[in-house]
Amino acid sequence: MTATKTNALSRALSAAYKRGVDDEMLEPLVLLDEKGNPEGRLQRGDSVIFYNIRGEREIELTRSLTERNFGEFPVERDLDLNFATMIEYKKGLPVAVAFPPEECITDTLSSVIARAGKLQTKITEAEKAIHLGYFLNGKRSAAEAGEERIIIATRKDVVLFDEAPRMSIDEITENVITKMRDKSRDILIVNYPNVDVVGHIENRNAVIDAVEAVDEALGIVLEEAEKNNVISIVTADHGTVEKWYYPDGKIDTGHTDSPVPFIIVSKDDNLRLRRNGELSDVAPSILHLMGIDIPPAMAGHSLICGDIEVKKRVLLLILDGWGLGEKGRNNLIYEAKTPVMDRLMSVYPHSILKASGEAVGLPEKTVGNSEVGHLHIGAGRRIYSDRVRINRAIAEGSFMKIEALNKVMDSSILEGSALHLMGIVSFFSSHGSVDHLCALMEMAKKKGVKELYVHAMLGRRGERPESGALYIEKIEQQCQKLDLGSVVSVIGRYWSMDREENWNRIEKTYRMLVYGEGTGIPERGSL
């Protein structure tokens, strides 16, 4: 199939922006053929490549399209798709994986603590459960011996969390206090997600409320820690709202490349910290503080200078998204009232940690994110990301030789069926890159794929306003350049990339892909 000579979906998206539609919440747009029928629906025996990376928000949609006994909502039982994913989203999914995990990350903070016979409790709400579990444990879902996980349910009574910027912070704090009073727990690891989650929403007042809620909770748990002779460490996984505006004044709701704080709340006047470090130094520092030997696999270094008194009980507080930025209106953390954090930074020993780019295994100058942040906090060493591996494979030419990708494309060619490429259309998203999509399109052209459809997901995290239309137009132009394929559907990531079992959202994406449900966009002639 030659390329459809149209920019219909990018034009439709631009029109939607004028009506106040946001990329992330975009309801499905579906390209219609000249007879008014939806183009490029998933048919029995078709080939699919879900090219997203990271993985945790991709599991639900993948399950709906591949599991034979899927039962969360009604699905077609006989699609029998030849399905590949760019990375492993979850063990056991019936898919081919282009870039499987390279190694088992051993000797993580959690595993070393467990081997030392210590008991650990992790507390957060469901929005960040995978980060304190899977990523902090070196991409292993199973809990370690003596590891307890307390996950507070994420509220379902709001659409977006600017409606409730406190989220479930009170319940988290109550559980932290209860567990600190339980003398058997040696280390508590807590994630407060508010700044990161609310920071992705273009609502300045709600973000400030979220920052202030975290600062308030921080004060409460630190006071309780002191009462229970628990030494506290305060840090973050990446920055978010300390750079709220682009240079042109438009709002940036994405992550940042800012450093993050590392503070030990201690009355020990002899305690000294190195001034600078990176997230991979957190785990060695905690083990140093607890008097546990640091394993050789941890290439990070303790931030603590010299010998210290061993602490029996530790509280690690991860303030998700709390970056360090310059003072001013561009910094919503500075704009908020944060008396607790202000006092901590002025009174107690602290370090400034790199939390982006190469320090967390990402390409140079890439912003940080919660996944690599928690991975590096737990691993205590640099773990190079899937994005880096894929970029290298494309640059070196080995991408064309990846078995899983060739198998799916060969099936399309041999069986005369369509190849569908679906995923995030973005450069800055931690879930994937438009460059990876373009590489797949070029590979399909070289191999001789005849029928190609692109199903795009959008979300303006770290992107400029209305950038989605520019990306879609770029892919439409790539189709025309290659004389192959069409962008046939576009949907906001809110509906397609969920991890909280909001199956009504995933069903909307499924029905777009399989039945063509959505706002129909007719082709409007040749370019």
Exposed / middle / buried, residue 230 (Cβ in 10 Å: 0-12, 13-18, 19+): buried
Nearest by Cα to 449 from 397, 412, 486:
412
For 464, half-sphere exposure in the C-beta direction (CA atoms, 13 angstrom radius) is 9
| CB neighbours of residue 123 within 10 Å | 23
What separation in angstroms does the CA of 176 have from each of 126, 190, 338, 407? Answer: 15, 8, 20, 49
Would you state the structure tokens that stand for residue 363, as one six-digit string? 């390409």
All structural domains of the chain = 8-100+387-522 (3.40.1450), 109-382 (3.40.720.10)
Query: CA torsion sign, 106 to 100 to 300 to 331?
Result: negative
All residues at 6 or more sequence positions from 85 whose CB lies less than 8 Å from its CB, including other chains: 49, 50, 51, 52, 55, 58, 62, 93, 95, 96, 97, 98
pLDDT at residue 364, rounded to an integer: 87
Closest CA relative to residue 110, chosen from 189, 56, 1, 163: 189
CB 28 within 8 A of CB 422: no
Question: 190 forms bridges with which residues in the sheet?
Answer: 123, 317
The string of pLDDT tens digits covering residues 152-190 is 998 889 888 899 999 999 999 999 999 999 999 999 999
Q: What pLDDT does 374 receive?
A: 98
Cα–Cα distance, 382 to 278 (Å, whole number): 10
Q: How far apart are CA 83 and CA 97, in angstroms?
A: 9
Question: In residues, how long is the chain?
Answer: 527
Q: What tens digit of pLDDT does each residue of 15-24 get?
A: 998 998 888 8
Cβ proximity of 339 and 333 under 8 Å: no
Confidence (pLDDT) at 462:
57
Taken in order 471, 475, 476, 481, the sign of the CA dihedral is positive
pLDDT exceeds 70 at position 482 = yes
Percentage above 90 pLDDT, the chain? 82
User: Mind listing the pLDDT tens digit for each residue in 180-216?
Assistant: 999 999 999 999 999 999 999 999 999 999 999 999 9
pLDDT digits (tens, 9 = 90+) for 323-356: 999 999 999 999 999 999 999 999 999 999 999 9
Q: How far is CA 136 from CA 109, 143, 186, 419, in A?
A: 8, 11, 17, 36
Q: What is the distance between the alpha carbons of residues 518 and 271, in angstroms, rounded to a whole number?
A: 60
The backbone torsions φ and ψ at residue 318, rounded to the nearest 5 degrees and listed phi first, read -105, 110
pLDDT at 525: 40
Place of tokens 């706002």: 519
Query: Which amino acid does the sequence have at 161?
Result: F
